[in-house]
């Protein structure tokens, strides 16, 4: 009896999670501009429309630029901060971690407004670069969390062993730290890229005249006739995201077979 209830609950929960997501691909192939059942036939014209929409492509390229830059910078900064926090004996490590993580708890809208004010005060133009700066604030804490966990997962004697065997700090990084951190680095890149790619509020405030993809989509919602195309775009993003996650998992398992502890 109890098990049955649980099973039902689990099914309902899964449906709640995934039915809305499934609506996307289903209606993106539906031959009608109205989002309603019954379905009226199969078409790929919304996708064809997407391929021809140069404003959308421009926004997509903007988002990719911002996402990649943010992911790389945030992971690089996260890597250095994580190394400092875990490898050097410093005073105030806890306070540093707390300060870096603080933006996580500031609502994005507050962050967006303050950044607009700040940029205005120092006279910097709103631009994609400004969006990257805003996204860094949001993303570095993610990178740091992922990478600190990874650094703590391996014996610092391994880096000392490398020095003992004649390698300076740079080669030690390349021959020991980097390969052992790689799964964490990939996870950080992926996480920060996706965070930046679908971030709306901060980008909305900071992007100026250049739209990122979420801003473009938001703009399209005013035109009901363009809704199926937005669905097609959503379905595409969904597919690519899933593919990326699967790929990252695959790469991660290629690199390392076992959890890594030095002993």
Partner 1 sequence: MSFLAITNVNKSFGGPAVVNDVSLDVPRGEFFALLGPSGCGKTTLLRMIAGFETPDSGTIAIDGEVMNAVPPNLRPTNMVFQSYAIFPHLNVFDNIAYGLRKLKLPKNALRAKVETMLATVRLEGLGGRAADQLSGGQRQRVALARALVREPKILLLDEPLGALDKRLREVMQLELRAIQRKIGITFVLVTHDQEEALSLSDRVAVMEGGKILQVATPRTLYERPASRAVADFIGEMNFFHATVREIGETATVNAGVLGILSLPAANLAPGIKVGDHILLAIRPEHVGFAASGVAGEIATSTFLGERSHFHVRLPGRSEPVAVSGHAPPSGAVHVVFPPEKLIGLPV
Residue 161 makes contact with partner 1 by CB under 8 A? yes
**Rounded least distance, CB 178 to partner 1, Å:** 10
**Rounded least distance, CB 258 to partner 1, Å:** 5
Residue 118 makes contact with partner 1 by CB under 8 A? no
What's the CA gap between 190 and 188, in Å, rounded? Answer: 5
What's the CA gap between 157 and 100, in Å, rounded? Answer: 27
Where are the alpha helices (H) located in the chain, listed in sequence order? Answer: 2-28, 45-52, 54-87, 93-101, 108-122, 128-152, 157-164, 169-172, 178-197, 201-206, 213-220, 227-255
Residue 208 makes contact with partner 1 by CB under 8 A? no
Binding residue for partner 1, selected from 27, 151, 154, 197, defined by CB under 8 A: 154
The tokens 């990874």 sit on which residue?
Answer: 150
Size, binding site for partner 1 by CB under 8 A: 26
**Binding range to partner 1, per CB under 8 A, among 14-22, 40-48, 136-144, 155-163:** 155-163
Residue 248 makes contact with partner 1 by CB under 8 A? no
Residue 256 makes contact with partner 1 by CB under 8 A? yes
Residue 153 makes contact with partner 1 by CB under 8 A? no
Binding residue for partner 1, selected from 10, 21, 106, 163, defined by CB under 8 A: 163
Binding residue for partner 1, selected from 64, 96, 113, 158, defined by CB under 8 A: 158
Residues 122-151 that bind partner 1 (CB under 8 A): none
Binding residue for partner 1, selected from 58, 65, 175, 252, defined by CB under 8 A: 175
What's the CA gap between 139 and 134, in Å, rounded? Answer: 9
- Are residues 41 and 31 in contact, defined by beta-carbon separation less than 8 angstroms? yes
Residue 165 or 221 having the CB closest to partner 1:
165
Phi, psi of 153 (to 5 degrees): -75, -10
Q: What is the DSSP secondary structure assignment for residue 30, as one 8-state letter?
A: B
What's the CA gap between 34 and 232, in Å, rounded? Answer: 14
**Rounded least distance, CB 159 to partner 1, Å:** 9
Residue 160 makes contact with partner 1 by CB under 8 A? yes
86 half-sphere exposure, CB direction, 13 A CA radius: 22
Across 126-157, b (16+ Cβ under 10 Å) vs e yields bebbbbbbbbbbbbbbbbbbbbbebbebbeee
Binding residue for partner 1, selected from 68, 116, 126, 260, defined by CB under 8 A: 260
Angle at 109 between CA 104 and CA 212, to 5 degrees: 95
Residue 152 or 160 having the CB closest to partner 1:
160
Residue 164 or 225 having the CB closest to partner 1:
164
Binding residue for partner 1, selected from 162, 188, 207, 220, defined by CB under 8 A: 162
What's the CA gap between 239 and 233, in Å, rounded? Answer: 10
Binding residues vs partner 1 (CB under 8 A):
154-155, 157-158, 160-168, 171, 175-176, 179-180, 255-258, 260-263
């Amino acid at each position: 009896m109890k098990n049955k209830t649980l099973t039902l609950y689990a099914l309902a929960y899964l449906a709640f999670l995934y039915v809305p997501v499934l609506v996307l691909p289903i209606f993106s192939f539906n031959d009608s501009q109205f989002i309603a059942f019954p379905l009226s036939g199969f078409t790929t014209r919304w996708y064809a429309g997407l391929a021809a929409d140069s404003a959308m492509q421009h926004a997509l390229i903007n988002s990719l630029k911002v996402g990649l830059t943010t992911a790389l910078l945030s992971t690089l900064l996260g890597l250095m901060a994580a190394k400092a926090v875990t490898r050097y004996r410093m005073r105030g490590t806890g306070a540093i971690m707390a300060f870096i993580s603080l933006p996580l708890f500031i609502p994005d809208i507050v962050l967006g407004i303050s950044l607009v004010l700040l940029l205005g005060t120092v006279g910097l133009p709103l631009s994609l670069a400004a969006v990257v700066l805003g996204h860094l604030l949001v993303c570095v804490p993610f990178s740091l969390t992922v990478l600190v966990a990874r650094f703590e997962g391996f014996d610092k004697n391994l880096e000392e062993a490398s020095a003992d065997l004649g390698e300076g700090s740079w080669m030690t990084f390349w021959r020991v730290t980097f390969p052992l951190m790689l799964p964490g680095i990939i996870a950080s890149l992926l996480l920060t890229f996706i965070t930046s790619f679908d971030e709306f509020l901060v980008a909305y405030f900071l992007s100026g005249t250049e739209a990122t993809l979420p801003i473009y989509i938001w703009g399209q919602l005013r035109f009901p006739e363009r809704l199926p195309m937005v669905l097609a775009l959503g379905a595409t993003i969904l597919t690519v995201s899933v593919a990326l996650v699967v790929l990252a998992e695959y790469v991660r398992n290629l690199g390392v077979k076992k959890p890594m502890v030095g002993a």
